């Protein structure tokens, strides 16, 4: 008889073929042991044998609407049946409507959407727009940031991933606020905010405002630790951008489209940027897409002047259709509000409870479905746990059916925006067990 899918162990086959032929990103290849995912629904994914896992990483913090949302799948299918691809230099109803939907979520004064293939190239193009708009070169961004893994985006990135400056010129880093590990010896959020703003102003003055094109910040730094900004900080950054006539780019690639319980993270912080970068949550990654939302003055710069940017797949119709499907469903099903509510009522309190039970947890912070547990060897000294502890925890979590997101000494609790309080409770008991197992050796 011929071999069918049911005769072979597809999970073993997926592992074998992956190890033999797929070269993975951000990894040494030899010891990878990656979970097999064959399907999913909402917050849950499963392998070929039907073993279920709770996706508390939302893959790469992008599947905001959950896996296999039927409205998004249908929008892609219908668009594919009608017109699967077109070049960027065309007028297309689906693309236009996707832009219109995105602009409807942005504050007043935003006029156009420039589509890209993902987050990094959104950042590249926002930087280019700011440079051409101002005629200046330097971009200031924070040490604790991640902006993507391409030319200027990885140089603007401030965390351990950043590439040496030889790949792109005109980048300077500064310290953003992070009270738990304050660079400014601050003891309150207000003090941290004030001192971080003073530091930023000194950097602007020292570099020379006449050389600076833009301030580039994640509204809420994500990969670098979910560093919820203290009171007045982002509004203060806006004021500095105004004083020194700099373009303010807020990177909403991870924080945008529901993750914080708002459409844009910055909408909680009394600030309006000049350029907004987005990707991930805009369509939950069902088709790769990103972009830059442009305020009117910057868009106008290019009315009579060529903007030298664009890619073969900019504004791809399958991506555009998936954006419309995703944003419609998020609106009609109250998905952004669910993220806010479940964050405030289940994730936040659940993490506080874990912190009370586990000395390994030094701090928990976040909002919406965007939370971090920072793990320390000692609460007094705040010495971070090593990669060994995080590695063991990761194994214990996966073994109990939870896909975690880890970074440095942290576990980020970042489920889809559709997560239910019951799923959060289930996850909390898995975190609790795994922390208990690892803690015995780690402290
Ligand atoms: N900007 C931020 C804030 C991000 O978190 C990321 C990815 O995690 C990026 C940019 C890069 O996006 P992409 O991986 O889609 O290129």
Q: What is the per-residue pLDDT across 34-54, written as a single tens digit (0 to 9) for each?
A: 999 999 999 999 999 999 999
Task: Name, in order, each residue with C-beta under 8 angstroms of 123's C-beta and a sequence gap of 6 or more.
Answer: 147, 148, 152, 153, 156, 216, 249, 251, 253, 277
* Ranges of H-type helices in 1-108: 10-21, 58-61, 70-82, 93-105
Q: How remote is the CA of residue 279 from the centroid of ligand 1, in Å? A: 7
Q: How remote is the CA of residue 72 from the centroid of ligand 1, in Å? A: 22
Q: Which atom of ligand 1 is nearest to the CA of 290?
A: 15
Query: Ligand 1 within 6 A of 119 CB?
Result: yes
Query: Ligand 1 within 6 A of 252 CB?
Result: no
Q: What are the structural domains, with CATH classification, of the chain?
A: 10-68+334-442 (3.90.1150.10), 71-332 (3.40.640.10)
Contact 112/131 with Cβ under 8 angstroms?
Answer: no
In the chain, the percentage of residues whose pLDDT exceeds 70 is 96
Q: What is the per-residue pLDDT across 387-440, written as a single tens digit (0 to 9) for each?
A: 999 999 999 999 999 999 999 999 999 999 999 999 999 999 999 999 999 998
Query: Ligand 1 within 6 A of 251 CB?
Result: yes
Q: What is the mean pLDDT of residues 301-317?
A: 95
Contact 393/435 with Cβ under 8 angstroms?
Answer: yes
Alpha carbons 203 and 176: distance in angstroms, whole number? 12
Q: What is the per-residue pLDDT across 57-103, written as a single tens digit (0 to 9) for each?
A: 999 999 999 999 999 999 999 999 999 999 999 999 999 999 999 99
Can you give the pLDDT at residue 3? 52
Q: Which of 31-35, 185-189, 228-232, 304-308 has the lowest mean pLDDT?
A: 31-35
Q: How remote is the CA of residue 149 from the centroid of ligand 1, in Å? A: 8
Residue nearest to atom 15 of ligand 1 (CA): 119
- Confidence grade of residue 7 (pLDDT, cut at 50, 70, 90): low
Contact 302/52 with Cβ under 8 angstroms?
Answer: no
Alpha carbon distances (Å) from 288 to 316, 320, 381: 9, 10, 42
Q: Please state, as a whole number, how many other Cβ atoms lie within 10 Å of the Cβ of residue 60.
A: 13
Tokens of 164: 């040496």
- Stated as kind and residue range, the H or E segment containing 253 is none
Q: How remote is the CA of residue 165 from the centroid of ligand 1, in Å? A: 19
Q: Give the residues across from 247 on adjacent strands.
A: 214
- Confidence grade of residue 157 (pLDDT, cut at 50, 70, 90): confident
Can you give the pLDDT at residue 165? 62
Alpha carbons 231 and 133: distance in angstroms, whole number? 30
Residue nearest to atom 10 of ligand 1 (CA): 147
Q: Is the pTM of this model over 0.90?
A: yes
Task: Name, in order, each residue with C-beta under 8 angstroms of 307's C-beta and a sequence gap of 6 or more.
Answer: 114, 128, 129, 132
φ, ψ for residue 4, nearest 5 deg: -115, 170
Q: How remote is the CA of residue 120 from the centroid of ligand 1, in Å? A: 6
Tokens of 217: 């910040």
DSSP-based helix, strand, coil % in the chain, nearest 5: 45, 15, 40
Looking at every residue in the chain, the average pLDDT score rounds to: 95
- Confidence grade of residue 155 (pLDDT, cut at 50, 70, 90): confident
Q: What is the per-residue pLDDT across 322-356, written as a single tens digit (0 to 9) for each?
A: 999 999 999 999 999 999 999 999 999 999 999 99
Q: What is the DSSP letter of 231?
A: T
Query: Ligand 1 within 6 A of 69 CB?
Result: no
CB neighbour class for 114 (10 Å; exposed up to 12, middle 13-18, buried from 19): buried
Q: What is the mean pLDDT of residues 155-176?
A: 79
Complex-level ipTM: 0.99
Q: Has residue 263 got a pLDDT over 70? A: yes
Can you give the pLDDT at residue 4? 60
């Amino acid at each position: 008889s011929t071999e069918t899918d049911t005769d072979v162990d597809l999970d073993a086959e997926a592992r074998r073929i992956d190890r033999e032929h797929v070269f993975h990103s951000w990894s040494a290849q030899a010891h990878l042991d990656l979970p097999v995912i064959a399907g999913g629904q909402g917050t849950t994914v499963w392998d070929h044998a039907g073993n279920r896992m709770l996706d508390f990483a939302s893959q790469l913090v992008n599947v905001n609407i959950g896996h296999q949302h039927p409205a998004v799948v249908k929008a892609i299918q219908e668009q594919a049946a009608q017109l699967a691809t077109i070049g960027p230099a065309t007028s297309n109803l689906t693309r236009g409507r996707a832009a219109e939907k995105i602009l409807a979520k942005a504050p007043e004064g935003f006029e156009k959407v420039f589509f890209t293939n993902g987050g990094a190239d959104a950042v590249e193009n926002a930087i280019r727009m700011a440079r051409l708009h101002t005629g200046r070169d330097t971009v200031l961004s924070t040490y604790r940031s991640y902006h993507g893994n391409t030319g200027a985006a990885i140089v603007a990135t401030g965390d351990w991933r950043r590439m040496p400056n030889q790949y792109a010129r005109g980048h300077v880093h500064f310290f953003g606020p992070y009270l738990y590990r304050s660079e400014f010896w601050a003891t309150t959020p207000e003090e941290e905010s004030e001192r971080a703003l003073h530091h930023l102003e000194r950097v602007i003055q020292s570099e020379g405002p006449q050389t600076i094109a833009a301030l580039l910040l994640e509204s809420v730094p994500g990969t670098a630790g979910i560093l919820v900004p203290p009171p007045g900080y982002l509004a203060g950054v806006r004021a500095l951008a105004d004083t020194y006539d700099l373009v303010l780019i807020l990177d909403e690639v991870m924080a945008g489209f529901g993750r914080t319980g708002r459409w844009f993270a910055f909408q909680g912080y009394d600030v309006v940027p000049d350029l907004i970068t987005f990707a991930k949550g805009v369509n939950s990654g069902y088709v790769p897409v990103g972009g830059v939302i442009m305020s009117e003055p910057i868009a106008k710069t290019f009315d009579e002047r060529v903007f030298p940017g664009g890619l073969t797949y900019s504004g791809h119709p399958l991506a555009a259709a998936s954006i419309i499907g995703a944003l419609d469903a998020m609106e009609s099903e109250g998905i952004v509000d669910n993220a806010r509510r479940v964050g405030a009522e289940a994730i936040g309190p659940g993490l506080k409870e874990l912190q009370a039970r586990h000395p390994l947890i030094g701090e928990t912070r976040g909002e919406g479905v965007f939370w971090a547990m920072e793990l320390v060897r000692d609460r007094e000294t705040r010495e971070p746990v090593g990669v060994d502890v995080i590695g063991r925890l990761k194994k214990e979590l996966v073994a109990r059916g939870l896909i975690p997101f880890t970074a440095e000494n942290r576990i980020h609790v970042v489920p889809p925006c559709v997560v239910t309080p019951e799923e959060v409770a289930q996850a909390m008991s898995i975190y609790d067990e795994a922390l208990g197992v690892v803690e015995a050796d780690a402290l």
